[in-house]
Structure 1
């Protein structure tokens, strides 16, 4: 029986145990229960809490960004689906600002399709909202996409980005976080090769694997050592019934999560041990921070196998883009054609996913882009996550991005956004 089916059966079998653990936790946490104040009661409650959290399936988190500050004034933010594809929704965080408010730079955040949901960039969106009109690619879990909608490979990813840029009319700054750096560069290269008027003002690549031959990390070495065939044989599975994407070939989220966890297993074990102690000691703030982080970290989505395998092969095994051999629907992609789109690259000093130099390699590929349209920043003392989130991102990286956007804001272009009818938008969510 395929592993995916075993996983589903095991998860279902654990249901009664999770329910029992949750009921026990409530019983021993009830203040009317005298045992709840004893060391034994606190330990039992904490153990049940930990068991329930480590065996549950985490659904897609919400962005939960109801408001932001614009010029020192709190304004509402409405999250809207403004364009839909079977594998992606384009979300707009529409700020309710006064009519006389000067338009802010429009930013398209291209979220990574690498296992986690786009909500992983919640902090990125939150930091940009006060001074920018923010859109984001909200990728859809492949197990929820019916087989009738076809497969989704790296060519389709590039097509989707080009379609979104046409929808936004070119009046936008594109920000690619990690994995989408390669398809973003490919999409803009193809648009420049075709003299497309809808090219964006700029593209910012953050911790992206443009050339993984530079300072290869453990992740890069695993891909090269094992090769694409190994991944095709060992991690690709069919979605089981009753999911909407039944029989679709995917790289399952639960397998991706096991890979994420194994990279820093000791750190995760320590974090859960500390969480257990926080519950016993009644340290609610520390326990809540743990829950907030792992509610996001443990929420994973399936990836269409065609996209995953092509990405592994083209980006991490054969390094086609830096070698000048990357093709989009058979046509050679030439980053040297990029002449109108400013380029900014951002790296983290302690990034153990995308090594230093892998992202800045984009500057060498964009050989015909004037130096005054290029910028690079390496943030000291941050790892991969800190490149796009956290205190240093908010205080040091985001302001540099904002300056870069405004420095390369050209005359506004026409937006072609075709908003979905209210019912269609609700269904897309």
Structure 2
């Protein structure tokens, strides 16, 4: 009933949001000063009301061009492979020179792949970029079957096969575990599409290292609590009706609760910027929350298995991780160069959790391993923003270039 209750409440709020949008049309008119000021404040209030909404469809990447050398090269987004639970997107750039192919593995943690828009935009300067575009589980019919941790690994392997031999893989946050497992499986099989480099950024390879609030929550309750308290059935109106999921709106609430004061302060600033007509400042905040409030549902099996296998049991770190019943050993990785990246102020995936991959990849020679610690960034800053572009990205680019 949890999902149905949420949907009922959202349906009740829809007319209020619509009315707020209509009332905005009457604001911003030219009156004498006191009335005009009141009009702007009223318009700002109505815009905040109209934005009181969680979106369940992915925003657009909105990447239409990229600077290559001294020219602006057009970018076309193509769907290279379309599978039930995820698509492989290709950001085709109009250039003549072949460039290193990179698969960016986006997190499946409640938000859409567009969360990595800044990551992709930067990588496109020097690389041929592909991205995993995960599908909202509430839109996947039951006939498509299950999608758990093993199937996630399968998808990464399938995507790398589609891209072809000689590619590189870069994983952000949660999928670092499945990406390392996929490369280990491919290495053991001597798969021709095994990537040349593997970049793992702020991921819970060993969540027992410097546990954060996220890690502590995952181990603080038995698995049965997550199953009974957080899993709900998709309502009948959606294509995935009857599928049991961890709703994206619950993940959003959990993320916001971790730093509620900051979110309240940001919306106070948004109101002030709107009321003062400071459009550019307001747009920056709105752009962030347009992305932040766009959520997707995860299948029950993927969410519960992630809590169980990745966080509670730390199977990859302990050597107990399996893929369809077969033991996965990162020691099989001998040719894929490894780069790990951590943020010094990351409160979601703390120091040591990602770099532990180096111990697991014990067969790699020293010159094929590198770790980068970015001292003054939090979790989001590892893969987006000024320091990502100026300090982290050059390290990623150089690792890929060295193995071309």
- TM-score, with structure 1 as normaliser: 0.92
SS in structure 2 at match of 1:160? helix
Match of 1:70 in 2: 68
1:186–1:333 CA contact under 8 A, matched in 2? yes
Which shifted more, 192-201 or 289-298?
Answer: 192-201
- TM-score, with structure 2 as normaliser: 0.98
1:227–1:317 CA contact under 8 A, matched in 2? no
SS in structure 2 at match of 1:38? helix
2:54–2:293 CA contact under 8 A, matched in 1? no
SS in structure 1 at match of 2:131? strand
1:58–1:295 CA contact under 8 A, matched in 2? no
Match of 1:89 in 2: 87
Match of 2:320 in 1: 325
2:195–2:336 CA contact under 8 A, matched in 1? yes
Distance 1:9 1:35 in 2: 42
Match of 1:14 in 2: 13
Per-residue CA shift, 1:127-157, capped at 9, x if unaligned?
0101100000000000111111111000100
SS in structure 2 at match of 1:321? helix
SS in structure 1 at match of 2:143? helix
* 1:122 maps to 2:117: yes
Which of 197, 203, 206 is equivalent to 2:192? 197
Match of 1:108 in 2: 103
Distance 1:17 1:36 in 2: 27
Aligned CA distance change for structure 1 residues 364 and 56 (closer, same or farther; 3 Å): closer
Match of 1:422 in 2: none
Per-residue CA shift, 1:81-118, capped at 9, x if unaligned?
011110010000001113xx2x1111100000111100
Deviation at 1:360, TM superposition (A): 0.2
Per-residue CA shift, 1:263-316, capped at 9, x if unaligned?
100000000011111111111111111111100011010001101110110010
Distance 1:406 1:292 in 2: 33
Which shifted more, 185-194 or 172-181?
Answer: 185-194
Give the root-mean-square deviation of aligned CA atoms. Answer: 1.3
User: How do residues 299-378 of structure 1 correspond to structure 2 at under 5 angstroms?
Assistant: 299-378=294-373
1:227–1:313 CA contact under 8 A, matched in 2? no
Match of 1:230 in 2: 225
What number of residue pairs does the alignment pair up?
A: 404
Deviation at 1:170, TM superposition (A): 2.4
Gaps of 5+ in 1: 410-429
Which of 44, 47, 61 is equivalent to 1:46? 44
Which of 264, 267, 290 is equivalent to 2:259? 264
* 1:134 maps to 2:133: no
Distance 2:206 2:63 in 1: 35
